[in-house]
Amino acid sequence: MARTIGDLAQRDVTARAMPRGEWSETLRAGGMGESHARLIVELFDAHNAGRIDVEKEVSERRFGTTTLAQALAPIVTQAQKA
């Protein structure tokens, strides 16, 4: 992910692990409300613990040929304009 974003932005991007204790504070600093940040952290905890996953034939899962770079290019371009 970091390599692809860096390639698209034509700059160095480094992925870093964030301690779990900083997740909620970081989400709130990014503009999320306290309850929304708490729900996101709970969702990540449940996913990381293996309690939830994408279920086959339960929702709309689609498979195609879009690359990560193709999906992220419009987002990176828009961020560079801001």
Q: What is the rounded distance in angstroms from the CA atom of residue 39 to the CA atom of residue 41?
A: 5
**Phi-psi category of residue 33: left, alpha or beta, with phi > 0 → left and psi -120 to 50 → alpha:** beta
For residue 32, tell me if it sits in a domain: yes
For residue 12, tell me if it sits in a domain: no
pLDDT in tens, 25-75: 999 999 999 999 999 999 999 999 999 877 777 777 778 999 999 999 999
For residue 38, tell me if it sits in a domain: yes
Q: What is the pTM of this model?
A: 0.67
For residue 75, tell me if it sits in a domain: no
- Whole-Å CA distances, 62 to 4, 14, 29, 75: 22, 29, 33, 21
Please give the tally of structural domains in the chain: 1
**Which domain, by its residues, includes 47?**
21-55
pLDDT in tens, 47-58: 999 998 777 777
Q: Are 14 and 2 in contact (CB under 8 A)?
A: yes
